[in-house]
Structure 1
């Protein structure tokens, strides 16, 4: 039996244990609450820390981008400075050459007679030395002067008296002078003094060196052209075998008309060289006594051109296609075509393929098409370099497997930026470096560098400029404000889309960075169209294209087109077995 006191003690201990247990449970809850509070605080701190780290990361990335941008800018500026140093070096070289030429010119004009004679004796050597000189930062004279100075200095330093120069030759020499351009006239009539003047009684002519002192007045007179008609009497002849013949065939049978080679050549030049329409030619011929209808004149002209095409076109076209470098352009013309409703005028296209290095241009009328087939038909077997504008047809030559190196036109590109300049002055960031490229090209041309030398200079001078332009254009393309401007957007898109062909100027130093030379070949075509308004038929368009090819190629080679066409017509008329290649304008000699 348990003692009551012990029982009470146990109950008291149990109560204390329960109270202690309740206290511990309370402490546990407080600890759990504190732990949860700490965890919540840690989560907030972690989140803040992560946000801070992300902000720092973004800041570092932005700073890295800015540093990289500045690094690229500094690299471009460094290359630009190197390019400018190279340009300054070449300019200094040119200034040095000009200084030497000026010094020689002063010696020739103001120097003593002995100096002038010595200059004349060595003028060929001095000229070649000037052409080959290279500036190295010094003010050195030519090699002859250096040799004289060294020899004189060595004699003086050794105490010897310098050797006396041998006396120059007494024979007088005169410097070559560029004579005045002589007038080319068919006949010179000299009127002596005694033909129109009677010496008064007691008078006498003034003499100089024992001869009358006479000078000349020149008067140019235009004698109106006269036309001669040759009439050949022809009779029929019966031969012994019973067959019939005539005493002669038509003397101009091979030309298909009644105009002589000289008159036919003149009419072609009036139309295709001086842009005179046929109705004006009819009035001109009528004043000279030749009365002919428009239809007859047109028929004779196109018959003659058809003979020229049959005789020369294949050789001409093939030779241009074999060139290594072509400049290509196209233009429009109104051409008469036959339709179900009758004759109508449609806008057709004429292509020009200009072989700059051989001074030949071929105008290609492929049914008036402007599609890629027109270019492909002419350039099917071409392997070389072409310069064009930004027409989309030419992009077929931009592929990696293309056998043609396609070079874009920087003049067209600059024109778009100039158009955008009034609306956004940032266009000057592109116009200025493009102008620098053209100044470099002028310098190369002035120095008469070869294609390989120009390519080397372009890689060194133009390459950094191209990198700077591309970098600027890419930055503009990412600027929403700039791209919102229609003209600026057009200029940016053109430059980006044509960048591959525009940058190809670094690959061929013989190619031009502008296609303007080919565009200039289109001016005679447009001038004739301005006067004639249209081309009567597609056959006439093809005839006109080849006639322009002959005449413009003659002008490029400094040949009189009328004499050249006359010679071709004479070859056709007499059936000469001619070397047609030698008759091409780039090889033609008037005496052949």
Structure 2
């Protein structure tokens, strides 16, 4: 800040200009101080606070949301109310009935079944209690013995009984062992070096180099199946996309920069097939995702892609993510001092309540048909969206451009056309959260294994993550599904038609594979 001069000018205009200059400097400093305070509060909350984005005053929205379906003029038989409220009872949940049970019965010895009065005791009931017992991983060796046969008469040669094709030829890795390792890393985020230690405790010497080599070979075996999923994915009318950073050490680039793991998910409310595909790319540019989505959305009405501007075209329409806009206001609330957050009439709180009403409507629309959801969105959601837009326009000039609340309002206004596009089709979801849920396991795992050594390893990781998350999206137990694939695919041999893989698609195996609990 400028220091005051020793003498003040005598002219009124010059003195007035000096005062205005100093006032402008003071305003800039106060605005900058407020920005630093917001950043400090946000950093403190990110480090020590809860990560939940729960809306303030959610309870006041329930009664409003319950009344939405009443206005739809249809027979009661056409709609099914799925919302119910139950008071939570204290106490622990009962153990799942799907877990195998061993009943241990405790009875008094025959000699003790006599009352003090001398009469015999009879059974008057039972008291039951449950206790969960765990059996550590059990490992066994399957010894394959191929009997050889020969003819003593001609002695032309020896014939051996055939052995089933294995996922990795000349390896002692079975389908179940490979499925176990894949699920441990790509679903439970257990790095290979930790699995090496676990196997060592079981008296099995498996180096991480061996485990890594197995993952690469399994990826090669499953690549045709991944390609088949890709063929089906690009036929979907609605997709969701997301990406996150990835560190690849030897990616061939002289200048070290971030690589990316992209994710694509069939994103409609009523998607024909639930497919989740990861893809490694060295960049975040739109052309990177265009490679996987070449020929995307071949339909007369065009396709919908949630989130990315780079692919927006006449045949691919961009849909914004309402959760991203809402998150900006949630960050603005967290950036406020603790005392200010308690003010229920603050701008951030007001905006969050408006978003909460939109999400309350979507919760009520769950389970309806595409046409019913479309009509209700036009009737109920559209007025709320117009109210949110009007509120943002009214408060645009009241907020500083660099403040957290100012950024939230400007982001919402700039993205408005894509954010509100979900009301144009009852099959489109309000946000991109489904894709973000599937990329979260990769983000969690990245904290443990930190990097990939080569692009080949990154591509293998993308493939194996894809199969695990596709199984999860179709409510199949990933271990059982991968074990089935690794057992059945080698039996097809080297030359087979892509259509032969359709029998192994997850939605065709719901009766053979155990569902995910």
Give your verdict on TM over 0.5.
Answer: yes
Which residue of structure 1 lines up, in the alignment, with residue 47 of structure 2? none
Query: What is the aligned partner in structure 1 of residue 290 from structure 2?
Result: 376
Aligned residue pairs, count: 414
Using the alignment, how far apart are the partners of 2:432 and 2:445 within structure 1? 22
TM-score, structure 1 as length reference: 0.60
Distance 1:570 1:233, change over 3 A: closer
Partner residue of 2:382?
Answer: 463
Shift of 1:456: 1.4
Q: Provide, for residues 265-318 of structure 1, a one-character-per-residue CA deviation record: whole Å limited to 9, x for no partner.
A: 1111111111111111112212222112221121123212321223x1121112
Seen in structure 2, the aligned counterparts of structure 1 residues 515 and 90 have a Cα distance that, compared at 3 Å, is: closer
Alignment partner, residue 227 of structure 1: 139
Residue equivalent to 1:386: 304
- Residue 325 of structure 1 pairs with residue 238 of structure 2: yes
- Establish whether residue 277 from structure 1 lines up as the match of residue 188 from structure 2: no
Change beyond 3 A, Cα 1:404–1:245? farther
Q: Which moved more, 1:318-327 or 1:413-422?
A: 413-422
CA contact (8 A) 2:68 2:361 kept: no
Does the 8 Å CA contact 1:551/1:561 hold for their aligned counterparts?
A: yes
User: Deviation of residue 416 (structure 1)?
Assistant: 2.1
- Which of 377, 402, 408 lines up with 2:320 in the alignment? 408
Deviates more, 1:223-232 or 1:492-501: 223-232
Q: What residue number does 1:174 align with?
A: none
Matches for 1:19-418 after TM superposition, within 5 Å: 91-92=66-67, 131=80, 181-185=96-100, 197=109, 199-200=111-112, 206-207=121-122, 219-232=131-144, 247=160, 253-256=166-169, 257-310=171-224, 312-339=225-252, 346-356=257-267, 357-358=270-271, 360-383=274-297, 384-389=302-307, 394-397=309-312, 399=313, 402-418=314-330
Q: Which residue of 2 aligns with 1:573?
A: 490
> How many angstroms does 1:502 deviate by?
1.4
**Cα distance, 1:535–1:360 mapped onto 2, change above 3 Å:** farther
| Structure 2 runs not aligned, ≥5 long | 1-61, 83-93, 341-345
Cα offsets for 1:488-540 (capped at 9, x unmatched): 44334322321221121221122122212211111100111111111222111
1:583 pairs, out of 486, 504, 509, with 504
Partner residue in 2 for 1:490: 407
Q: In structure 1, what is the Cα distance between the partners aligned to 2:113 and 2:463?
A: 69
Q: CA deviation at 1:249?
A: 7.2
1:437 aligned to 2:348?
Answer: no
For residues 378 and 544 of structure 1, the distance between their equivalents in structure 2, rounded to whole angstroms, comes to 16
Taking the aligned partners of 1:533 and 1:290, their CA distance within structure 2 comes to 26
8 Å CA contact 1:550–1:585 kept in 2: the answer is no
Shift of 1:131: 3.1
Encode CA deviations 1:396-444: one digit per residue, 9 max, x unaligned: 41x5xx1223211122112223434567944556444333222222222
Deviation at 1:379, TM superposition (A): 2.8
Are residues 93 and 506 of structure 1, via their aligned partners in 2, closer, same or farther at CA, if it must alter by over 3 Å?
A: closer
Hey, what's the Cα distance between the residues in 2 that align with 1:243 and 1:386?
66
Aligned to 1:528: 445
SS at match of 1:131: coil
* Residues 565 and 403 of structure 1, relative CA distance in 2, 3 Å threshold: same
Residue 499 (str. 1) matches residue 412 (str. 2): no
Contact 1:363 1:546 in 2 (8 A): yes
Supply the distance in 2 between the matched residues of 1:458 and 1:231 (Cα, whole angstroms).
62
Give 3-state SS (helix, strand or coil) of 2:241's partner. Answer: strand
Cα distance in 2 for partners of 1:472, 1:93 equals 23
The C-alpha deviation readout for 1:448-480, integer Å capped at 9, x for no partner, is 322222221222222223333333434444x3x
For the residue of structure 1 that corresponds to 2:247, the secondary structure is strand
More helix by share: 1
Q: Rate the CA distance shift 1:407–1:373 in 2: closer, same or farther, 3 A.
A: same
Q: SS state of the match for residue 360, structure 1?
A: coil
CA displacement 1:106-160 (0-9 Å, x = unmatched): xxxxxxxxxxxxxxxxxxxxx9698389xxxxxxxxxxxxxxxxxxxxxxxxxxx
Q: Give the deviation of 1:93 after TM superposition.
A: 7.0
Q: Give the 3 Å change call, closer, same or farther, for CA 503–249 of structure 1 in structure 2.
A: same
Give, in angstroms, the shift of residue 566 of structure 1: 0.7
2:476 corresponds, among 553, 556, 559, to: 559
- Bigger mean CA offset, 562-571 vs 328-337: 328-337
How far 1:353 sits from its partner (Å)? 1.1
Ranked by relative contact order (alpha carbons within 8 Å, sequence separation 6 or more), the top structure is 2
Measure the CA separation in 2 of the matches of 1:494 and 1:419: 13
Q: Secondary structure at the match of 2:135?
A: coil
Scaled by the length of structure 2, the TM-score of the pair is: 0.68
Distance 2:465 2:237 in 1: 22
Aligned partners of 1:255 and 1:572 also within 8 Å: no
Unmatched 5+ stretches in structure 1:
1-86, 97-126, 134-178
| 2-structure distance, mates of 1:253, 1:221 | 34
Q: How far apart are residue 236 of structure 1 and its match?
A: 9.3
Deviation larger for 316-325 or 576-585: 576-585
